Structure formats: C-alpha cells, structure tokens
Structure 1
C-alpha cells in the first residue's frame, strides 16, 4: 500500500528527508556536498522555495523548506532526480 499523498499548499513549512538506497552513502566527497547545495540553490530559485535550514549526513539529508507555491513534489522530484543522475554518473 502506498503512502497517502502529501498535502501541499503555498507558504507551508516542511521538514524533508531523503536517504540513500539501502541506506547507502549519498555523498562520497565534499565536492558531492557542494554539488548538492548548488543544486538545492537552483531548485529553491526555480520553485520559489526558501531553505531555512539543512543538514547533510553521509547517507541522508534533512531540509527545512518553506514553499512559496504549492509545488513541493515537483521540486523534490527535480532535486532528488538530478542529484541521483549526477551521483550514478560519477560513481557508476
């Protein structure tokens, strides 16, 4: 059974987290962390988000995001999808 859809609305605050596959590491180097933060900046601009806090762990991250528009799922798809492609290309 899939989880219920997340309620999305403009001006909401969300605590977001995402883990690596099988709890594996999602950052192998500081360059990976810098790329992720650069990508997060781009996503915040593109989707009108404000990032109030972040914490990058080896195998997951936490974000505190405020959405200016009701577009959380679209922004998360962009953030996780592009970073996953980068990581898979870099580390095969």
Structure 2
C-alpha cells in the first residue's frame, strides 16, 4: 500500500531516510556517496532547501 501524500507547508521540517532492499547496502563505494551528495546539492539549490544535518551510511536499519 502506498503512503499518502505528505502535506507540505512553509517552515516545516522533514526527516528523509533511505533503506536498502533486504538490508543490502545503499552505497557500495566512495564514488556512490559522492554521487548522492552531488545530486543532493542540485536539489538543495533548485528547491532552496535548508539542510540541518546529513548522515550517509551504507544502510539504514536497526
């Protein structure tokens, strides 16, 4: 089942996370981390985001 659309409003804070399928790594090599950061920078500029913090790990699981 899909998640309902989030309500967006000025000044809101959002927590964004990514998780690998079957707990597999999201990033395999250092170049993967760099590519993600490059894409994040483009989105940051395009949408005038404010990023309070950022943490990249190989996978996001407990």
Is the structural similarity TM-score above 0.5?
Answer: yes
Aligned residue for 2:40?
Answer: 40
Q: Which structure is higher in strand share?
A: 1
1:10 matched to 2:14: no
* Aligned residue in 1 for 2:59: 59
Partner of 1:25: 25
Shift of 1:39: 0.9
Once the two structures are TM-superposed, the CA of residue 8 in structure 1 deviates from its matched residue by 0.9
Q: CA deviation at 1:5?
A: 2.1
Shift of 1:12: 1.1
Question: Where does structure 1 differ by over 6 angstroms across 4 or more consecutive aligned residues?
Answer: none
Aligned alpha-carbon RMSD (Å): 1.4
| Structure 2 length-normalised TM | 0.80
Aligned residue pairs total: 60
For the residue of structure 2 that corresponds to 1:15, the secondary structure is coil
**Which structure has more helix as a fraction of its residues?**
1
Q: Which one has more relative contact order, counting CA pairs under 8 Å at least 6 apart?
A: 2
List gaps (5 residues or longer) in structure 2: none
Distance 1:44 1:22 in 2: 29
